[in-house]
Amino acid sequence: MSSDSAPIDHSALRKKYREERDKRLRPDGNDQYIMPSGRYAHFLEDPYVKPVEREPRTGEVTVVLIGGGFSGLTAGARLKEAGVDDVCIIEGGGDVGGAWYWNRYPGAMCDTAAMIYLPLLEETGHMPSKKYVFAPEIFGHAQNIAKQYGLYDQALFSTQVTGLEWDAASARWTVRTDRGDVLRARFVAMGTGPLNHPKLPGIPGIESFEGHAFHTSRWDYDYTGGDAKGAPMDKLAGKRVGIIGTGATAVQCIPPLARASKDLYVFQRTPSSVDERNNHEIDPEWFGTLEKGWQRNWLENFATLQTGGITDKDLVKDGWTDIAQRIRGRIMETIRNSPGVQIDEKFLRRAFQECDDEKMEEIRARVESIVEDHGAAQALKPWYSQLCKRPCFHDEYLQAYNEPAAHLVDTDGKGVERIDATGVWVAGKHYEVDCLIFASGFQFGSNHMRGGGFPVVGRDGLTLQDAWAEGMKTLHGMHSHGFPNLFIVGPSQGANLISNITHNLTEAGTSIAAIVAHALERGAEQVEVTQEAQQAWVDMLTSTRRGFMGNPDCTPGYYNNEGGPIGQRELLGGAGYPKGPVAYFKYIDKWRRSGEFEGLEFR
């Protein structure tokens, strides 16, 4: 597209991006959000199942996995493969699945290609139905992993961990829950996820709304009709619906809402960048030709291309790898046209910026070519670099604004002004709604990074909160000194590959299984990272700014601490291996295979 149009004025774009960012900067940063409470306290409850009555569980377990999402499931699967059978998942939801248990909103799907996002495809033999699969298939895959690996046998669902305490005398963790369980665990892995608590915008008057309301992660199909599998939401036919938020979730649920509601008011603060999806079915014949070990190759290929590396083939070929491919093309072109030219960091930065500008011009042109209403089309254009916010991909989102029921209410970066008993105010105008849907996202950062959640009391009474008072401190994002036999699972301080979260988790699961099996084999009661190894890792992480907290120039969002100051805590919480995810995966594989587990002490 851009090759046919006028050349891009890069400096004018920089100015426009800064102006748009400045409109959105707010002194309260992250504090603009509130946890659901009062009238909205039930947003934290599980609408899908009633907790099963059961007696509290006590006794000894080899490994407790906190969280039944893909962290817990992949760790559980790898532990079982390593011969560690005594594994107990503790999960707040009524089943496994994590984000895919909670997020059942209409249209929910994964933005990362299923061939790489769904873990353990070769182990389970599951063939994804499409290039990008919908939430029910992902939830089903999670359930199948749990079934295949016997992870349901001991699992405790609808159960929240309330505290972990290290008992040095017995070298066991005491795990307490809100169902009265008191387990003594030899090892504990916490896969509690960085985005697992729904948050609400602290808009004045939010408590006063008297209509129906819910958060997207607790979709109320009783009210809307329809179901998570895509049945139309017939009960909305006569309803005026308002939705606050236009992030990755809203982009997916707005099309079905626009088709079902009498009127749909979309209250927008910042438009998402929405590239094409181009979904298609997976051909079983082709899938059958894939050779053993294919998923690892695909994972490596995607991670390489998505993080700026070069390979011969683009196996996934999607919006995530597109920008990397463009940069590669530019480098090749430069080398062809000017042999001997130096491809240094400055060149790469410029190439990235120019390719990004080109991409974003295409995304803006796409809005214009799809959205019929001129005003709406202008307001739906994103003015920031593509990776400032979670990029979105959809073939029905922009089209939804051509539905007669859909009304875009753009707030020009200011956000909703206030909420009252009957509706929403923007720029002095009142929009009356019967139902208000909060697509306002999730509190970012692990509970411990943010000082919430359950207490974790390690050796000598040290709490994880205190240990991390100045920021997360670990080896590999997983081991924290003072907390023997505890594994923290998440992308931070490891590969930090955010375009394919499960890749981080599967690797973490493999590490946990290797360490636990090694400890059991040697009869080691305790495994702990040394202070020196932890410090060396943290020093290495802070030697660069790689990580997704790195760009304060971006429009505010949870990737950059809502535009607030990025201090040591934020840098550490968002840090990744300086040489990038691909190098990290190679490093950690070697680290595990060596059998030395350098940096850990087995006692």
Residue 557 is a binding residue for ligand NDP (CB under 6 A): yes
The distance of closest approach from Cβ of residue 30 to ligand NDP in the complex, given in angstroms and rounded to an integer, is 11
**From CA 502, how far away is CA 500, in angstroms rounded?**
6
Quick one: CA torsion of 397, 398, 399, 400, rounded to 10 degrees? 60
Q: How many residues bind ligand NDP (CB under 6 A)?
A: 26
Question: Does position 441 bind ligand NDP by CB under 6 A?
Answer: yes
User: Could you give the string, one character per residue 512-551, with x where binding to ligand NDP holds by CB under 6 A and - elsewhere?
Assistant: ----------------------------------------
CA distances 553 to 192, 470, 478, 562, Å, are: 30, 24, 30, 11
Strand partners, 243: 266, 437
What is the three-state SS of 294-362? HHHHHHHHHHHHHCCCCCCCCCCCCHHHHHHHHHHHHHHHHHHHCCCCCCCHHHHHHHHHHHHHHHHHH
Q: How far apart are CA 157 and CA 52, in angstroms?
A: 8
Binding marks (x or -) toward ligand NDP, 239..258, rule CB under 6 A?
-----xxxxxxx--------
Neighbours of 243 (CB within 10 A): 27
Options 148-156, 166-174, 327-335, 438-446: segment touching ligand NDP (CB under 6 A) = 438-446
Q: Which is nearer to ligand NDP, 500 or 511 (CB)?
A: 500
251: number of Cβ within 10 Å: 25
Helix, strand, coil fractions of the chain, as percent rounded to 5:
40, 15, 45
Nearer of residues 10 and 126 to ligand NDP, judged by Cβ: 126
Distance, in Å, from the CA atom of 129 to the CA atom of 442, rounded to the nearest integer, reads: 28
Nearer residue to ligand NDP within complex by CB, 166 or 558: 558
Binder of ligand NDP out of 416, 436, 456, 488 (CB under 6 A) = 416
Element (H, E) at 601: strand 600-602
Closest contact distance (angstroms) between CB of 592 and ligand NDP is 27
**Nearest distance, CB of residue 272 and ligand NDP, angstroms:** 7
Q: Is 34 in the site for ligand NDP (CB under 6 A)?
A: no
In the complex with ligand NDP, which residue's Cβ is closer, 318 or 356?
318
Rule CB under 6 A: choose which of 146, 203, 253, 533 binds ligand NDP: 203
Token pair 């949870």 is found at: 558
Q: Please, is 290 exposed, middle or buried when counting C-beta atoms within 10 Å of its C-beta (0-12, 13-18, 19+)?
A: middle
CB of 111 to ligand NDP, least distance (A): 3
111: contact with ligand NDP by CB under 6 A: yes
Candidate list 176, 179, 269, 503; residue touching ligand NDP; CB under 6 A: 269
- Contact 135/104 with Cβ under 8 angstroms? yes
Contact status: 121 vs ligand NDP (CB under 6 A): no
Dihedral over alpha carbons 446, 450, 456, 461 (to 10 degrees): 150
375-394 positions binding ligand NDP, by CB under 6 A: 390
Q: Which is nearer to ligand NDP, 368 or 412 (CB)?
A: 412
Query: In terms of Cα–Cα distance, which of 124, 246, 19, 46 is closest to 506?
Result: 124
Q: How far is the CB of 392 from ligand NDP (least distance, A)?
A: 8
From 3-11, 161-169, 266-274, 533-541, span contacting ligand NDP (CB under 6 A): 266-274
Binding segment for ligand NDP among 224-232, 262-270, 303-311, 459-467 (CB under 6 A)?
Answer: 262-270
Considering only the stretches 41-49, 104-112, 161-169, 292-300, report the one whose residues sit in contact with ligand NDP under the rule CB under 6 A: 104-112
Residues within the interface to ligand NDP (CB under 6 A): 24, 110-112, 195, 201, 203, 244-250, 267, 269-270, 390, 415-416, 439-442, 557-558
